[in-house]
Amino acid sequence: MEKKQFELGDVVQMKKPHPCGTNEWEIIRMGMDIRIKCVHCKHSVLIPRAEFEKKMKKVLRSAAKDEPEAT
């Protein structure tokens, strides 16, 4: 199983969508706990990091591309 990578500002998809019908969350705080904000209704939730990693499905948009550029 591949390791999930995410960073501040990334927009992620969770296994369960928000009740408002949107499944896009922006990471707005990182630490022991992760705070994510629903991009649609702006509701934010604080989740322990381990739980976040379990519930996150994938990163939709990365805030900063850290892939090495082919030069």
Site for Zn ion (CB under 5 A): how many residues? 7
Partner residues linked to 27 by β-bridges: 36
CB 49 within 8 A of CB 7: no
37 binds Zn ion per the rule CB under 5 A: no
Query: How many residues does the structure list for the chain?
Result: 71
In this complex, which beta carbon is closest to Zn ion, that of residue 2 or of residue 25?
Answer: 25
41 binds Zn ion per the rule CB under 5 A: yes
Partner residues linked to 34 by β-bridges: 47
38 binds Zn ion per the rule CB under 5 A: yes
28 binds Zn ion per the rule CB under 5 A: no
